[in-house]
Amino acid sequence: MADLSILKASGMDVDSLPESEQAALAGLDDSELQALAAIRSKLNAGDEVSGFGLSKQADGNVVW
Helix residue ranges, H only, 1-64: 5-9, 19-26, 30-45
Residue 27 pLDDT greater than 80, yes or no: yes
Query: Is residue 44 classed exposed, middle or buried when 0-12, 13-18 and 19+ CB atoms within 10 A define those classes?
Result: middle
Band of pLDDT at residue 61, cut at 50, 70 and 90: low
Half-sphere exposure (Cβ direction) of 2: Cα atoms closer than 13 Å = 20
**What pLDDT score was predicted for residue 16?**
92
